[in-house]
Amino acid sequence: MLVCGGGPAGFAAALTAARHGAQTLLIERHPFLGGTWTAGALSIILDAYNKHGLIEEILARLARSGHSQIWARFSRYTVYGMKGMKYLLDDMIAETKVQVLLYTHAAAVIRDRNRIRGVITESKSGRQFIEAKIVIDATGDGDVASFAGCPYEKGRPSDGKMQPMTLMGRIGGYRGGPAHIQPLVDICRRAGWETSYSDITLYPQPNQPGVFILMATHLYGDGTNAADLTAAEIRGRWEIRKTLEVLKQYGGDDWKDAFLIDTGPFVGIRETRRILGRYYLTIEDLKAGARFDDAICDVNFKVDIHYPDPKEGRGLTHVDHKPYQIPYRCLLAKDIDNLMMAGRCISGDHIAFASYRVTGDAVPMGEAAGLAAAMALDAKVLPPSVDSQLLVKRLDAIRSSAVPKT
């Protein structure tokens, strides 16, 4: 089987499939695994609290290595160090038989009616064709499904606008502690400067005194458009430099020796394609606290919509809902039998997406997709024919087992 994308969902899918006997190849366009955790410099894991299985293992191993901490301001969320996350993902993959190809991205698909024969990749090795019995699209943007001609939605129904992107900055030499919104906004206002993201935050980097991740940008455009991504990267770097200059000049002694180490390796993307699957999760499902017989992930995170248009606000808005579940059918492409999705590109509407898009849910989705693929290969069937009740039972068994001590 082939997993495209080595972010939280793709990593989880490949690792789980290999642990359950599937011959697995994982391709990733960056020179390291982790996706938004590492390339996006996110530095915080949302909606992983009180969850079991692979996400619990990841959190436990981060904590044992000293590369994570709980910030009292966000006591249910784990803050981690990017370097430590990179090392952990490398170590966990090395413990399996997953074959990994970095610097490699999906460029096209060979489709035969309702199946994908394989994926054409581009890398420094040139153009290659990878044949696979099952493909999992964990690219975040649904690239593979899009190349295969799968129907999808993008943005909100009214105008197609998507939640903005964010480029993070990593700073050193800061003498204060973690900060969220008001203390930082007050400093910027003294200088007459407004950040494009109003909920400006400083996340600590564990075991790195004085090193913090600065979240202060909203960058608008289409994350599947090269021109928009280019503009976002350039604008984001300028905004981070400007914001740090303001904080140094007006922030007092805590800030006087602060400096910019670097910006995130890549701009972080919140929203692009949502591939239509065999179930379409809606905000009505969330408000009803929907439960499903084929549930593969429990979600508790709020609907968290960063305003798609800066004229509407520079922060975010929320929609009330109950805890709910994601069904396995949301991971199954609507019209291709051997294609699955995992992560933020699964099947759902614009508002529901704003809840389940976070990485504490991407990992259980990938875990479920990887196990389902292994079960399908073992039974010599395609993913839609996997016994979903058995899948749920096996997931429950995996998630109730003890966290490895390694």
Q: Distance between CA 189 and CA 182 in Å, rounded?
A: 10
What is the model's pLDDT at position 274?
A: 98
Residue 232: exposed, middle, or buried by beta-carbon count in 10 A (0-12, 13-18, 19+)?
A: buried
* Degrees to nearest 5, angle at CA 337 with 300 and 105: 75
Decide: 199 and 44 in contact? Cβ < 8 Å.
no
Contacts of 397 (CB under 8 A, 6+ apart): none
Please name which of 333, 405, 340, 385 lies closest in space to residue 367, comparing C-alpha atoms: 340
Q: Distance between CA 197 and CA 220 in Å, rounded?
A: 11
What is the model's pLDDT at position 402?
A: 58
Residue 16 amino acid letter: T
Residues (pLDDT < 70) of the chain are 402-406
What is the model's pLDDT at position 72?
A: 81
Decide: 9 and 373 in contact? Cβ < 8 Å.
no
pTM (2 d.p.): 0.96
Q: Distance between CA 205 and CA 264 in Å, rounded?
A: 14
Kindly list the domain boundaries of the chain, sorted by start residue.
2-159+270-400, 168-263
Parallel, antiparallel or unpaired: strands 273-275 and 152-154 = antiparallel
What is the model's pLDDT at position 392?
A: 98
CA distances from 352 to 63, 142, 336, 347 (A): 31, 17, 23, 10
CB atoms closer than 10 angstroms to residue 258? 21
Please name which of 91, 104, 154, 126 lies closest in space to residue 3, comparing C-alpha atoms: 104
User: Taking the mean position of all CA atoms in its chain, how far away is CA 182?
Assistant: 27
Decide: 128 and 120 in contact? Cβ < 8 Å.
yes
135: phi then psi, degrees, rounded to nearest 5: -120, 135
What is the model's pLDDT at position 406?
A: 47
**Angle formed by the axes of helices 388-400 and 359-379, nearest 10°:** 120
Domain 2-159+270-400: give its CATH code: 3.50.50.60
DSSP secondary structure letters along 4-40: E--SHHHHHHHHHHHHTT---EEE-SSSSS-GGGTTT
Q: Distance between CA 48 and CA 46 in Å, rounded?
A: 6
